[in-house]
Chain A
Amino acid sequence: MNYSVIVVGGGIIGTSTAYYLSKLGADVTLLEGKDIASGTSGSCDQAIMLQSKKPGPILDLGIESSKIYAELENELVCDLEYKKEGGMILIETEEEMEMMSTLVAQQQEAGMDVKLLSKKEAQQRQPGLSENILGSTWWDHDAKVNPLNVSLNMAKAAEKLGASIRLGVKVTSLITERNRVLGVEVSGEKLYADAIILALGVWTPYLLKPLGIDLPIIPRRGQILVTEKIPSFIHSTVLNAAYIAAKKGNGTDSIDPNNPAGVGLVIGQTYSGNLLIGGSREFVGFDFRTTPEVISAIGKGAVRVFPELENVRVLRTFAGLRPYTPDGMPIMGPVEGFSGLYLSAGHEGDGIALAPATGKVMAQVACGLDPGFDISHFSLNRFRKTSVV
């Protein structure tokens, strides 16, 4: 096959797409402005949490991804620090109990065997939990992975199959001819291909603006803190219900006045023993800074449910910009009116969980093959219809 594809963006979505394209035999060039996973994919947590997703297309894509993740270390022959050790969502108030009971009922109806645990059962599963929690959910199928390892190894595997991985190469514009996209321009150099896939997360809208396309992806900041290494005690991924509530908070106009920074708890322990504790959801543009208020609120939330963390030190903090879309679903597929152009962006906080299946599906779509998965829900058209009056 002499079919050429340019993938723009070297995050977890772009590298995964490049790998699956190479596997299909396409002539692949991956262009990345900085370095592999230097943006959102390198500034997030390690959770592959499926039970936080509502039954529907995203969950379906997540389940496809989790099947791939389970075999990925063998396939790529590498260590991704992947572990499928389950996940729990802690419930701290009666209101949260109501919200989570409803969600769990929906999930059970959709065939997921998510369970509600009493306080005692939760404490048995997860040592160190406070006496003040009311209970938790539990699902065996949640997992964790090191997103840097995934991105780097996907890129390496693509390269091994013949892909050209070009780092430090910033795409400045798309080359168009009437209703076709022919290639990209990188600092004076013109590169042409049969298909162009844009996987630049929060930076994707910049390349589409000159085409008159207003892509509804907005950066949403998430702050995370890293603690010193401590003895291993968290194996699963632990969230609290406030995290789920903040995640649902849809759009810039429906911000909870009691929790404007969308602080919720997501906590996991890395292979080396450090805790990664998040997170927040804030609309602050392209601002990567961490703030003392939010970091302190996240830390307090962690100590509230794990009182013994009080004496554990924070080593550093960082923030990442999640590519938010108004309906919480990624934008994937061809762009109507511009043949040769494909989008794969806007996964917000689900990018790590969805990356393998996203890459596989988009590789097939861009090669004109049937992905065996209905991606029409993720089409850009869902936003264009409503805006055209």
Chain B
Amino acid sequence: MCASYRLEFSEESKNEKEVPFYFNGKQLIGNEYEPIAAALLANGIRALRLCDTTGEYRGVFCGIGHCYECRAEVDGIPNVRTCLTPLTEGTKVSSVPTWQIGVK
């Protein structure tokens, strides 16, 4: 099931290596080393998390690392900006932080 939201207009884009990754436990496919946020958008996922205070959806806003709206927990590290972080095979992205301190 390849990303249906992707514009396939160039020859190069066909050469991208597709890798599996996970969003909230669900396996998806993205292009290796593209921003995690881009891979999620290509899968039709716009809401990355809920706002702590209002409970509203939050997703990519600026796309260049300034606004911190697109943050999510990535491979166990909370508040990672998905718009700046490259996708690698098996990356685990989570809307709800699971990281805790002092729990061994």
Give the B-binding residues of A (Cβ under 8 A): 126-129, 228-231, 233, 306, 308-309, 311, 313
Query: Which residues of B sit under 8 angstroms from A229, Cβ to Cβ?
Result: 52
Whether A230 pairs with B52 at a CB distance below 8 angstroms is no
Contact of A233 among B77, B78, B97, B102 (CB under 8 A): B102
Closest to A308 in B: B101
Whether A127 pairs with B103 at a CB distance below 8 angstroms is yes
- CA distance in complex: A309, B78 (Å): 12
- Mostly, the B contact residues are loop
Q: B54 at interface (Cβ–Cβ under 8 A)? A: no
Contact with A along B67-79 (1 / 0, CB 8 A): 0000000000111
Range of interface residues on chain B?
Answer: 10 to 19
Query: Which residues of A sit under 8 angstroms from B100, Cβ to Cβ?
Result: 231, 233
- CA distance in complex: A311, B73 (Å): 12
- CA distance in complex: A55, B40 (Å): 60
5 more contacts with CB within 8 A, not counting A128-B101, A229-B52, A308-B101, are: A128-B102, A231-B97, A233-B100, A233-B101, A313-B79
Query: Which residues of A sit under 8 angstroms from B102, Cβ to Cβ?
Result: 126-129, 233, 306, 308
Q: B99 at interface (Cβ–Cβ under 8 A)? A: yes
Whether B103 pairs with A311 at a CB distance below 8 angstroms is no
Q: Report the minimum CB–CB distance from B22 to chain A (whole Å).
A: 20
Query: Which residues of A sit under 8 angstroms from B77, Cβ to Cβ?
Result: 311
Closest to B52 in A: A229
- Mostly, the A contact residues are loop
Whether B101 pairs with A228 at a CB distance below 8 angstroms is no
Give the A-binding residues of B (Cβ under 8 A): 52, 77-79, 97, 99-103
Query: Which residues of A sit under 8 angstroms from B99, Cβ to Cβ?
Result: 230-231
Query: Which residues of A sit under 8 angstroms from B52, Cβ to Cβ?
Result: 229
Query: Which residues of A sit under 8 angstroms from B97, Cβ to Cβ?
Result: 231
- CA distance in complex: A306, B102 (Å): 8
Whether B101 pairs with A231 at a CB distance below 8 angstroms is yes
Closest to B79 in A: A228
Please indicate which of the listed interface residues B52, B79, B102 has the most CB atoms of chain A within 10 Å of its own CB. Answer: B102
Q: Report the minimum CB–CB distance from A334 to chain B (whole Å).
A: 49
Query: Which residues of B sit under 8 angstroms from A306, Cβ to Cβ?
Result: 101-102
Q: Report the minimum CB–CB distance from B65 to chain A (whole Å).
A: 13
Whether B79 pairs with A127 at a CB distance below 8 angstroms is no
Q: Report the minimum CB–CB distance from A7 to chain B (whole Å).
A: 36
- CA distance in complex: A308, B103 (Å): 10
Please indicate which of the listed interface residues B77, B78, B101 has the most CB atoms of chain A within 10 Å of its own CB. Answer: B101
Q: Report the minimum CB–CB distance from A287 to chain B (whole Å).
A: 29
- CA distance in complex: A235, B68 (Å): 27
The 4 closest A-B pairs by CB, nearest first: A127-B102, A128-B102, A233-B101, A308-B101
Subset of 26 A-B contacts with CB under 8 Å: A126-B102, A127-B101, A127-B102, A127-B103, A128-B101, A128-B102, A129-B102, A228-B78, A228-B79, A229-B52, A230-B78, A230-B99, A230-B101, A231-B97, A231-B99, A231-B100, A231-B101, A233-B100, A233-B101, A233-B102, A306-B102, A308-B101, A308-B102, A309-B101, A311-B77, A313-B79
Closest to B97 in A: A231
